[in-house]
Amino acid sequence: MYQQQNQPFLSDEDLAYTVLCDLKRVVREYATAATEASCPDIRELFTKLTNSTLTMQGQLFQAMQQANMYNTASPALRQELDKQMKQYQQTKQKTQQFLQQKTGGQMSQSMYTPSVHQSQSNQFQQPNYQ
């Protein structure tokens, strides 16, 4: 009709972006379905499908990034990181006190364990803000 033979109607970028958007949406739907499942086997199925779809979404995103279809997002500024760090260290301390009063609470283990850098060493160390 309007489209000439063998000539794509959409650019590579638009084609890929359409799929990426749907993968993102489907990841959310699978996660929601998993939380609302009552049969253990159905919950497990939706959990697996969430992970599998999330993997594909990541692969497509990387392929698009390598093809320069994505502008690199601008990095957060150091002072913003410092600000949030300070604020949430304070929140954490208050909550820790609250938990200790109520339950005699325990130290938490970080789930953030990057493979590069000095990961473990300063995990629980308080930063030195003057």
Partner 1 sequence: MIQPMTAKELEYVADSMSNEDLLMKQNAQVAAMATNQALRSLCSQMIQTHQQHYDSLLHAISHHQQTAPTQPQQ
Binding-site ranges for partner 1 (CB under 8 A):
8-10, 12, 15-16, 18-19, 22-23, 25-26, 29-30, 32-33, 36-42, 45-46, 48-49, 52-53, 56, 59-60, 63-64, 66-67
57 Cβ contact list (under 8 Å, min separation 6): 20, 23, 24, 27
Nearer to partner 1, 41 or 118 (CB): 41
CB of 1 to partner 1, least distance (A): 16
88 in the Ramachandran plot: left (φ > 0), alpha (ψ -120 to 50) or beta? alpha
Instruction: State the amino acid at position 43 in one-letter form.
Output: R
Nearer to partner 1, 19 or 99 (CB): 19
- Of all helices (H) and strands (E), which one includes residue 130? none
CB of 88 to partner 1, least distance (A): 35
Nearer to partner 1, 69 or 96 (CB): 69
Please choose, from the candidates 18, 104, 91, 95, the residue with its C-alpha nearest in 3D space to the C-alpha of residue 57: 18
Tokens read off for 97: 């006190």
Nearer to partner 1, 71 or 130 (CB): 71
CB of 104 to partner 1, least distance (A): 38
How far apart (Å, rounded) are the C-alpha atoms in residues 110 and 90? 17
CB of 71 to partner 1, least distance (A): 17
Tokens read off for 10: 């959409």
